[in-house]
Amino acid sequence: MQAGIDTVEGCILYRNKSIELVREGNRTQMNNDAFMDEITSWIRFSDSEEESQLDGLTSRAMGRSPAPGWLGRMFMRIFVGAKSQSKTDEKNIRGSSALMVVISEKNDKKSWIEVGRSFERIALTLTTLEIENAHLNQPCEVPQLKNRLQQHLALGSAHPQLLLRIGYAEPLPRSPRRPHQQVLMKSSRVSTS
């Protein structure tokens, strides 16, 4: 066993390394204006934004009270940064029952779709067991951190695509969803068989 790696019942715990990589990912991503603009664009700060958009992530789902959109966006710019997010993430990682990494053999569009389908099955299974999950994808989204995570977990040529924390928790309010009629498109292709 490597020095500094905790084990529990034969399982290796990479909690501290995960915290380090998430912290570095937060610094990289949250100091990128385009990244922060995109994140902010997906947050529905007020009830009226939630009702009109029917998508995104609500303030309630993030554990915050609704606020007028202009105030929420200003709050994000002033108070939400890498340091505060890293502190929250570390607390959440240490309080989680487990961390899970979803990997793929290749790093191409087909593999990304397969990972998405795998995650769907994982999330649905966890939900039926009343186990919550949350993404901590910073180390999978920042290329140099993804390489370090890959090396640290001794994945060889496999690619870490998702980092999840899982465990029992009080469920947060669900994010709004558009009616399926707004997101499904009819195919114009005709079967030749």
Whether domain 6-171 has CATH 3.40.50.720: the reply is no
Q: Where are the domains of the chain?
A: 6-171
pLDDT per position as a tens digit, 60-94: 888 789 999 999 999 988 988 999 999 999 999 99
What pLDDT was estimated at residue 184? 85
| Residue 130, pLDDT score | 94
- Rounded to an integer, what distance in angstroms lies between the CA atom of residue 126 and that of residue 180? 23
What pLDDT is recorded for position 63?
79
CA angle 135, 140, 145 (to 5 degrees): 130
Q: Tell me which residues of the chain have a pLDDT lower than 50.
A: 1-4
Q: In the prediction, which pLDDT does 187 show?
A: 74
